[in-house]
Structure 1
């Protein structure tokens, strides 16, 4: 039950935390490498976890929910632009980190590359733009991973595999994202 509650809270935080594109970010997105995104990958994909450590009321011992929560959301647009959003929350702090950029998709290798061009950092309501040295993984850097899209019982999932040395069909050691 608490995992579902956390997932709902994380999705609400993601939906409410928006970033208006600055003119410089729009220019960066227009020059960063990108490809068209296949229809099966277009849209929003989210992963959320309520954590395995519980928070208990010290007076009553009653379980209050997860002590920490995490979420990650990929947004992929047909034209190769998009974003990556991270949320980390605890009893005392809430962090939102938003990266805007472009995607390159290699459908033959089943590989996604995300090129960061800008973004923002928010902690407990205080928001600021990311500096060039804070862009993940580095200024003009690229995050790469392998993917597989599967339909299980009518639900569509994207499996993210960071380790290319694992067998092509080994998606047991991956992160599973749900399509929103």
Structure 2
């Protein structure tokens, strides 16, 4: 069994985006995979949780999850339902799905109908880092800080980076590599309580 963690990327609702930092980072890592795009039921939270669980089932050894946007929310829903050990998780700019989002995004009613809300707030059973933007159009900083506290995650203020997607200029996000490396290199015995503090 491999002892070096595999990095599994968990994309948001837009799935594969060629110039997204997740896609670019996956291509550079020696042991990396991505949850495949959904062909059907693209807005279904349960379908995304099932796709994440299936992807994890195909990986032997430790796993570090790297989730962005709605992928973060799918990850915490998965964690509430499954008990597979996870080495660590990088949770980047989770959206606040419990308040109306800008035009062009799913409505609160559609998100509730598809199982996204309420968002789980139980402490995660693995070490995690939540990256919060100061000007994310999909979530206020204080709301994301509250999510991180509830999940027992370390909160990292990454500044004014929008939603950390190509529309906000990312593309490349160099900080991701050091954050992923730190999660991969931590001892497997670390618990989420060891990293539950603000940066």
TM-score (norm 1): 0.25
More strand by share: 1
TM-score (norm 2): 0.24
Relative CO higher for 1 or 2, CA cutoff 8 Å, sep ≥ 6? 2
More helix by share: 2
